[in-house]
Each structure stands twice: as structure tokens, then as C-alpha cells.
DNA sequence: GTGCGCCATGTAAACGGTTTCATAAATTCA
DNA sequence: TGAATTTATGAAACCGTTTACATGGCGCAC
């Protein structure tokens, strides 16, 4: 493995000159530079990243911490992060499945000295204190955080307004008995969506009932299970809003098995607009979340923080969501035409 | 930011002792160690990764290069990689969207000194020479490579046998006019699946016809477009094998729009078994590829390579695939019962 | 009681770069 | 032509670790 010294010797210059050629900020004689390039190329030399970050105190790497790497949603977030980071000449050190606070702290410790900043979607159980502690050593940007942290920019999903819009839409279609499959307790977005659901009802002059809210965990199986509970309720709900698409899909599956037709017997609305949503029969009406933009915005905020060291400028952003009306809510005929190719998806492989 | 020197001073020992405490391989007096831990914790100290890798020449980081980060398939590969890497105390430096050889070389350059090994799914246009050049400085494990490279272990998908099985299954259902929507030229898996398709036909005593093969690009829109071409053929195919699920989905969509029923008028079989496949109506018969296992195996091979430095033991593995029969092929009634919750999926959020 | 070995610890030299500062050569200007 | 300035380069310090080697104290056998 050739080092800067080897290149210097081959090119007949000092290591300082080689360094200057590779960094390009200080003037170097053109001929000299050419010789250095030639030597470097002959030896297949490229500066060692670790050594470089040791002196410069910069790594050109962003840490990314996610609770999971599973499924459409996170996959898109990562893609957004990776793409912008790459464009800005940053690498991404990714780590998934951090269930506990201890996990998160261990992961950030392991990253110490390897990253310039941390983009984090923390587990629900995270505490302000832990994040503040990480923030003391590193710029941190939070995705969908349960609380504000001094010095941390963050980007959230407009869960509240999305849920409210979903409910308002159902109300507009004539529904009064609207149930909800909620997400896991402690999860910010789950709670915001629940809050939005209640607000939506109130705004329509409908009193929310506790027995119309069934607790789920964002997974399909919990949506499936929720159906049984909801079908027992009297009066029986004529519409169900699920806190995410996976649960909505499980719910629809269970409703179908119970011999009920969606949306005729029960209307269903989800949240997230994962790729699958449009392929359901009937296609799922849902609240669209641009996960790719979410990832991109997080990186953008990180770059801002990095550019303005200790500037203390903290930005709190929200990703807007929009109701994507398909057939599962009954607004359009249940027998939908097949989606034409292209417009809604272009997944590869 | 506290350094090892600060800790040494606070604990009243030398930096060597602190280092020993943190590495735990050399004996240190228990009381001394306790003092060091106390000092470290008080100062919130943890060894700087860059400095450490500079001396040890190890980074505990694996580089991951993928052509894209989009969709179910890659998302699962990454998850498999991340999970095993994490368990083995490695971090993962991920980079997606590398379309050209130049891109790949630039990415590996940028990773120099930051990773111990590289797990790579190279773009189709990659050359043996480029990979060999990377291999000269780093352990490399290839995913689905178009060729063997000296010193590189690799893991491939059993595309050939999967395709053959898919065709055999269609033949078994009585089909003789079986068409194919092929993947992009130059892609190994696409070509292997085409080869398997042809072999499957020959084994059934059917002469493959070139006009029954329509070129696609793995994207849904190309599957959609392929339908028109195939419906013009005389005799008209009674079954179509698509080189991946996305194209199969596009194809089904187009067939539906053309007023044809799947599987009654045309049977369809895909490849990959992406999450969506089971939700199609009719649910898509496809060749299941365990992308998660693919990622895991790649890391396992990398760990082997790393453990046996210059041992030269090169392993070439294949991920077995298995035909997942659902309804789109006509083997089961097209009016499928809805999937019960859980068994086939458990996606979160 | 002397010598030997072992254990715990400290000293200092790497590791591969960047960057400050000094210096020599080349250029400008009066 | 000589001083002043600019330009190109080199020498050396430094970044935060690990680790080979040195050292000193202590227990043990003879």
C-alpha cells in the first residue's frame, strides 16, 4: 500500500508537495503537479482517509441511525439520505435496528471519530438527556423526534394534519362511525395520527369514542387482528382509518376473509403510501408521505449545521403530506381500472 | 473532546495504560483499571476511531457498493448485510447508485483507509480488470458478478435453475406457447434467466422462438410495454415468464387493460418474490429469492476472507431459489382467498 | 542475601496524512 | 541594480491512538 512518502520519493518532491497537489488549495507548479500525479497513478496511490481525518478533524462521513432497515419506508429514507450525501461528497455510515437507548449510545460510541454528524431516527424510548449527550460531541439532526433538543435541527412528518385530512375525507363521504387502528403507544407519529383522528372527528361534530380506537403496532398482523375487535363494536364502524398502510392492508385482508367488501361495507384509509398501496384491490386510499424527501431534508439540515459550526441556527421542518384518494375509501368506484404503467411506480429489479 | 491524554492525566496513569484498559488484552491492575474507567466516564471519553485505525490498520467497517438503493430487493440485501455486520461488530459504509465503472472506482477511492473490505454488487458494465485492481488493495466479495475474479469470493442467485423451474411449471400446466419478458442485456441474472427459460423449453421438447422473447429493463413500464408486443404474436402466447416481478406486474396491468384475464387468458410468472407479489390480484406466482440471505452470505464470506488474510481461499456460493406458486399461473383458482395475516409478511411502518 | 523472572506500568516510536513556518528562487518595481 | 514582494517548496510539528521495548518493584528459590 503506497503512502504519501512513496509518492514523494518517486516524484522527487517532499510529502508536503504531494499533499498540496491532492488537496488543490495551495499553488503548486504545474510541472511538479504533473509529476506527482504520474507517480501517484503509477503507485495507485490515494490519501488514506483515516489519516486524513485525524489531522483535519473532518471525515466527510455522515452517520445514519435508524430503528430498522425494513420495508419501503426506511428504504426510501435511506435512498434520499444517500443520494444527497453522495452529491455533496459525503459518505454514509448506516446502522439499523436500534431498539433501545443503550443500543443507540453504543452505536454512536462506535462511530466516534468516524463521522462529522449524525442523522438519527431514534427509537421511541429515547430520552432528551441521551440525545443531548450525543449532541455535545456531534452535530445531530433528528427525524420525527418525540421532543425538541437544544441545538438539533429536525424534520418531522405532518402526521397530525394528514390524519385529520383523512378523517375529514371520510366524513365528507358521509361516514359518522369512523374507527381507528392506532400505532404503537409512545411513537410520536402514531400519537399525532391519533390526535389528528380525534380532531378530525370533533371538527365534524362527532364525539370520538374510545372503543373505536384499537391499538396496533404498525405491523400488518396487528391490522388483521384489529378487524375482529372492530367488527364487534355496536354501532359497527362504517369506516376505518389505520395509522399506517401495513395495518390497513392487514385490516383489508381480514375484512375480506370476514366476507365484507371494501369499501362497500367498510371504507379503509391508510397512511404512508407505500408502493404496495396502489396495487391492493381495491387500491388503498392513503396519506402520502414522501420518505425520499424526508431523508434528503434531513441531510440538507445536517449540511447547514455543518456549514455553520456552533452557529446555533436550529431549524425545525415538517414534511407535508397529501391525501391520495384511491378506491378503498369509496370515493371512486371499487372496480378500479388497472393502473397504467409508469406513473405511480418504477421500481427496479 | 477528551483524548486519551486527558483520561491518563485525570486517572494519574500513562496513556499506554489507558489504551490497555480500553483494549483489554494486556493485564492491568484492577484498581488502576477502575480509576481509568472512572476518569473516562467522567470525561465521556471513547477512543477515536480514525486514530485507532491508523495504527492498527483495521477499521471495523465494511464498504457496501450497490448499483441502486431502490426497492424491495436492495433494501433486503442491505438489511441482511447490516444485521450480520452489526452482530460481528462491524459498521457498514453504504453507497448506492453507481452506474458506471468510473463511479465505482471513485467510490472505492473515497473509501480508502476507511474500510476493511468491500461487498459489491457491481454495475453490469464492470470489467474484470477494475475489480482486480480494487482487489489488489482490499478484500472484495462480489454479489451476482458477471465473471469470476481472482481472490474474490462471490455469491450468486440461482437464476438459471429458477427460470428453468418456472418454465417447467408452466409446461406442466399444459402451456406450449410460453413467452418471456427478458431483463436488460448485459445483466448476468437477466441472461441466466433467459438461458434457463430456453433450457426449460428444450427440456419439454419445445423449440424456443426468438419472437417470443421481448427485451425489458427490469422496470414495470417495460413489462407493461411488452404486453402489446406479445399480444401481436401468432400463435399468441398462453403464458409469459417475466425476468422479474416488477415487469410481471407491469405486464399483468397491461393485460388487464387489454381485457384479458390472468391466468385464464394468459398465465404469468415472475421472479424475485418482492413483497408486492403476494398482494397482486391474482397473487403473482414467482421464483422466490431470499435477498436477506444474499446479503448475509456476502458478509459471511467477507468475514471468512478477513479472518484468513491472504489465505487465498475463495468461495463461490449460490443462493437457492424456490418456485412460489400462487394464482397468476393458473395452478390454483384465480379467485384466491385473501392472504391470512402474518405468514407472508410482517413489514413495519 | 543475591539473582532471576514476572507483573504492572511508563516511554517513545510509529501510523499517514495536513499545515505552519521558514527559506530559496523568481519576479516586480523604483 | 538592489530592495521588496511573490511563488514554490521543504522541514517539522501535530492529530490520537497502539505497541515494542525499557524499567522498576516484588516474590521466590537457592
Whether residue B340 is contained in a domain is answered as no
Q: Is A348 on the interface with B (CB under 8 A)?
A: yes
Residues A85, A151, single domain; the answer is yes
- Are residues A88 and A208 both part of a single domain? no
The pLDDT, as a whole number, for residue A98 is 86
Q: Is residue A82 part of a domain?
A: yes
Stretch A133-160: mean pLDDT: 95
pLDDT for position B331: 85
pLDDT at B332: 63
CB contact B56 to A (< 8 Å): no
A93 and A66 within one domain: yes
Q: In chain A, which residues have their Cβ closer than 8 Å to the Cβ of B92?
A: 93-95
H/E run at residue A337: none
Task: Give yes or no for a contact between A268 and A285, defined as CB atoms under 8 angstroms apart.
Answer: yes
Q: Does residue A94 belong to any structural domain of this protein?
A: yes
A296 CB neighbours strand C below 7 A: no
Is A334 part of a structural domain of the chain? no
Q: What is the overall mean pLDDT for chain A?
A: 92
Total domains in chain B come to 3
A230 shares a domain with A215: yes
**Can you give the CATH number for the domain in which B19 is found?**
1.10.260.40
Name which of B11, B4, B9 is nearest B31 in CA terms: B11
The yes-or-no verdict on residue A333 having pLDDT over 60 is: no
Q: What is the pLDDT of residue A102?
A: 92
User: Under a CB-based contact definition with an 8 Å cutoff, are residues A326 and A202 in contact?
Assistant: no
Is B55 contained in some domain?
no
Average pLDDT of A231-254?
Answer: 96
Let me know whether A96 and A238 are in one domain.
no
Structural domain including B282 reads 159-289
Considering the domain boundaries, does residue B129 fall inside one?
yes
Nearest nucleotide to B14 (CA to C1') is C10
Chain A closest-CA separation from residue B178 CA (Å): 22
Interchain CB contact of A56 with B (< 8 Å): no
Q: Is residue A326 part of a domain?
A: no
Does any strand C atom come closer than 7 Å to the Cβ of B54?
yes
Edge-to-edge strands of the sheet including B239-242? B213-215, B178-182, B239-242, B267-272, B285-288, B322-324
A309 shares its domain with A239 = no
pLDDT band at residue A16, thresholds of 50, 70 and 90? very high
Query: B179 with B34, same domain?
Result: no
Task: State yes or no: pLDDT of A339 exceeds 90.
Answer: no
Based on the domain organization, do B215 and B72 belong to the same domain?
Answer: no
In a domain, A336, yes or no: no
A253:B109 CB<8 A: no
The DSSP output letter for A210 is G
Question: Of all residues in chain A, what percent carry a pLDDT higher than 90?
Answer: 85
What pLDDT sits at residue B24? Answer: 87
**The three three-digit cell numbers of residue A256, written as one number:** 375480506
CB atoms A254 and B61 under 8 Å: no
Segment A32-45, tens digit of pLDDT: 999 999 999 999 99
Question: Residue A346: is its pLDDT beyond 90?
Answer: no
The C-alpha cell 413489462 sits at B223
* Residue B256 and residue B175 in one domain: yes
> What pLDDT, on a 0 to 100 scale, did the predictor assign at position A332?
63
pLDDT per residue rounded down to tens, chain B (349 residues): 899 999 999 999 999 999 999 998 888 999 999 999 999 999 999 999 999 999 999 999 999 999 887 888 999 999 999 999 999 999 999 999 888 999 999 999 999 999 999 999 989 999 999 999 999 999 999 999 999 999 999 999 999 999 999 999 999 999 999 999 999 999 999 999 999 999 999 999 999 999 999 999 999 999 999 999 999 999 999 999 999 999 999 999 999 999 999 999 999 999 999 988 988 889 999 999 999 999 999 999 999 999 986 667 899 999 999 999 999 999 864 444 444 444 454 444 4
- Do B285 and B141 fall into the same domain? no
Query: B145 and B204: one domain?
Result: no
Whole-number pLDDT of residue A68: 83
A341 to B60: CB separation less than 8 angstroms, yes or no:
no
C-alpha cell at B157: 442467485
Q: Any idea what the CATH number is for the domain that residue B114 is in?
A: 3.40.50.2300
**Do both B31 and B104 map to the same domain?**
no
Give yes or no for B342 touching A (CB within 8 A): yes
Retrieve residue A88's grid coordinates: 455533496
Distances (CA, A) of B55 to A56, A59, A136, B41, B113: 17, 17, 27, 24, 11
Q: At what angle do helices A15-23 and A4-11 cross, to 10 degrees?
A: 100
Comparing CA positions, the residue from B282, B244, B242, B246 lying closest to residue B265 is: B282
Residues 6+ away with beta carbon under 8 Å from A12? A35
> Which 3 state secondary structure label does DSSP give A43?
helix
Point out the residue among A224, A246, A347 whose CB comes nearest to the CB of B246.
Answer: A347
Amino acid at each position: 500500500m503506497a503512502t504519501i512518502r512513496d509518492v514523494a520519493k518517486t516524484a522527487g518532491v517532499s510529502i508536503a508537495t504531494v499533499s498540496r497537489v491532492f488537496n488543490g488549495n495551495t499553488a503548486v507548479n504545474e510541472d511538479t503537479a504533473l509529476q506527482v500525479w504520474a507517480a501517484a497513478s503509477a503507485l495507485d496511490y490515494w490519501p488514506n482517509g483515516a489519516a486524513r481525518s485525524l489531522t483535519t478533524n473532518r471525515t466527510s462521513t455522515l452517520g445514519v441511525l435508524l430503528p430498522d432497515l425494513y420495508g419501503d419506508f426506511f428504504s426510501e429514507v435511506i435512498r434520499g439520505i444517500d443520494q444527497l450525501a453522495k452529491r455533496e461528497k459525503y459518505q454514509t455510515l448506516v446502522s439499523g435496528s436500534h431498539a433501545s437507548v443503550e443500543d443507540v449510545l453504543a452505536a454512536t460510541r462506535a462511530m466516534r471519530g468516524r463521522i462529522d454528524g449524525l442523522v438519527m431516527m431514534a427509537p421511541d424510548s429515547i430520552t432528551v438527556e441521551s440525545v443531548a449527550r450525543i449532541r455535545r460531541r456531534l452535530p445531530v439532526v433528528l427525524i420525527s423526534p418525540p421532543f425538541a433538543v437544544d441545538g438539533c435541527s429536525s424534520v418531522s412528518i405532518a402526521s397530525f394534519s394528514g390524519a385529520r385530512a383523512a378523517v375529514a375525507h371520510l366524513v365528507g363521504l358521509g361516514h359518522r362511525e369512523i374507527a381507528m387502528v392506532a400505532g404503537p403507544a409512545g411513537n410520536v407519529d402514531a400519537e399525532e395520527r391519533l390526535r389528528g383522528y380525534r380532531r378530525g372527528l370533533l371538527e365534524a361534530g362527532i364525539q370520538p369514542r374510545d372503543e373505536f380506537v384499537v391499538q396496533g403496532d404498525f405491523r400488518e398482523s396487528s391490522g388483521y387482528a384489529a378487524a375482529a375487535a372492530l367488527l364487534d363494536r355496536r354501532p359497527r364502524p362504517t369506516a376505518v382509518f389505520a395509522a399506517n398502510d401495513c395495518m390497513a392492508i392487514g385490516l383489508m385482508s381480514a375484512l375480506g376473509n370476514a366476507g365484507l367488501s371494501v369499501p362497500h361495507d367498510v371504507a379503509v384509509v391508510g397512511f404512508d403510501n407505500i408502493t404496495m398501496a396502489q396495487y391492493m384491490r381495491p387500491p388503498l386510499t392513503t396519506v402520502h408521505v414522501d420518505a425520499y424527501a424526508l431523508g434528503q431534508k434531513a441531510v440538507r439540515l445536517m449540511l447547514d449545521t455543518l456549514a455553520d459550526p456552533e452557529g446555533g441556527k436550529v431549524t425545525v421542518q415538517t414534511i407535508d403530506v397529501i391525501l391520495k384518494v384511491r378506491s378503498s375509501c369509496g370515493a371512486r368506484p371499487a372496480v378500479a381500472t388497472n393502473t397504467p404503467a409508469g406513473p405511480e411506480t418504477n421500481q427496479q429489479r
